[in-house]
Each structure stands twice: as structure tokens, then as C-alpha cells.
Amino acid sequence: MVAAHTGASVLTRSSVGPILERGNVVNVVLMGPPGAGKGTQAGTVADLVGVTHVASGDLFRELAQQDSELAQLVQAYMNRGDLVPDDLTVAVVMDRLDQPDCQNGFILDGFPRTVGQARALDRRLSEESRRIDQIINLVVPEDTLLARLSGRWLCRRCHSSYHSLFSPPTWPGLCNRCGGTLYQRDDDTLQTAKRRLRVYERDTMPVLDYYRAAERLVDVDGDRPVGEVSEALREAIMTSRMDV
């Protein structure tokens, strides 16, 4: 099923015809530092190619709202800008990928963030005769990342991303896509954003090396208008389907 896409985009359904006609599963990992545009792009592109967008940060934000010790623990890691430990992260994400709506394909956003998570993902999928078809790395310079994070607004209901300057909603405070209310994340302060970028360099850049060594990584320039980046991502995913 292809979900209706209502956001502004240069893409059309017919432009992704070959993916849909073949009805093939396509599993994509979208890498990139905090603020690179993973959430913005993954939602749009997942709708277009008819797969499910899975964002580990969204899963943890939902978990953190529960009334439990585990929720408080997760919230503490997030507020500091630290990663949640691998065991818990792998369990939460794999449980999501095992749901029926992920069997026809998914775009993973925010996971894996450590080499341990990347290995666990490969291992767990191969046990189920599944695999990652395409790994895409969104490349954006650090000063742009900080500017993006400090102006980010998110929809409470559908998790769509907006920016107060770069991509404001049509109606202030309201989501274009679903009408939900927008909020700013507690961890999008300049101090925590800088910490998250350091954690990214230390723990997540080695994941890029892991995938690059296996010639599984494609770089995409994310420092362009949203529609141009979407088009480049669509092309990258199309190419991976053609290669199968």
C-alpha cells in the first residue's frame, strides 16, 4: 500500500513506478548526524515507495512517556544527549521491525548508531532471511546542523519535522500534514545538540566505516533544499532495486 502524501514535494508516484510494480521489498538504512534531515526525508520517501518509516528516536520518545522506571532511564539518556545502551535499543527496534507493516520494507532512521547495533541488525535480519538493501548517508556540515537543530519543531501526532526559518509550517504551531500541535524537543538546546554531535562522531562515524568497508554505503548531499534531497534519495533507492 502506498500511503497518501500531502506534503510539498517534487516527487510523483509515477516516478517510483518500477519499485511499486515489482512489489519488491526494500529495506533501507538512512544514516546522518543529528539534524541532517533523516526524519524529514524518511517520512516522505517511505510514503512514496510504500514502505514503513521507523525512527528509533520516535520509539524512545514514546517509551519515555510511559509511567515506569525504564521510561525514566531512557529519558535521562536522551536529556543528556547520550545513547541508550545497545541491548535495550536493539530489542526496541527489532521488535518494531518484526511488526507486520515492516515486512514489505522499511526505512530505518536513527538506527544503527553503534557498530554493535549494526552487527546485531545484520545478524537478526539474516536469521529471518531478511537484509538491508541500501544504506544511505546524508552529508551536512556541522554549522548547518546546529542551525537546523536549534530551530526544529516537531509534530506531537505524526512526528513531522519543521524549522522556524528553513521550513515553517503554513499555520504557526500546527502540522501541515495532520493538523497536530508542534513542540520543541528538550534535547534540541545548543548545549545538548553539541554533545549529540560529539557522541555521533565517537560512536556513529565508525558505523559508516563498517558499511563503507563492505561497499554498502552511498553518500547523498543533504545540504540542499528538501525536495532536491528527496529526489536524490529516491534515485539511490531505485538504483538499489535495479541492482537486485
Q: Which strand (E) or helix (H) includes residue 53? A: strand 52-55
Mark whether 38 is an active-site residue: yes
Work out whether 74 is an interface residue with Zn ion (CB under 5 A): no
Burial of residue 126 (number of CB atoms within 10 Å: 0-12, 13-18, 19+): exposed
The catalytic position among 61, 96, 148, 196 is 196
Binding site for ligand ADP (CB under 6 A): 32, 34-40, 56-57, 60, 77-78, 81-84, 89, 110-111, 113, 117, 148, 151-152, 161-163, 166-167, 196, 225-226, 229
Work out whether 158 is an interface residue with Zn ion (CB under 5 A): yes
Closest CB to ligand ADP among residues 34, 105: 34
Coil/strand/helix, residue 130? coil
Out of Zn ion, ligand ADP, none, what residue 96 binds, judged by CB under 5 to 8 A for its kind, is none
Closest CB to ligand ADP among residues 39, 105: 39
Distance CA 69, CA 78 (A): 14
The catalytic position among 61, 96, 152, 177 is 152
| Beta bridge partner(s), residue 109 | 30, 55
Distance CA 78, CA 113 (A): 14
CB of 104 to ligand ADP, least distance (A): 23
Closest CA to 79 of 188, 4, 181: 188
Residues catalogued as catalytic: 38, 113, 152, 185, 196
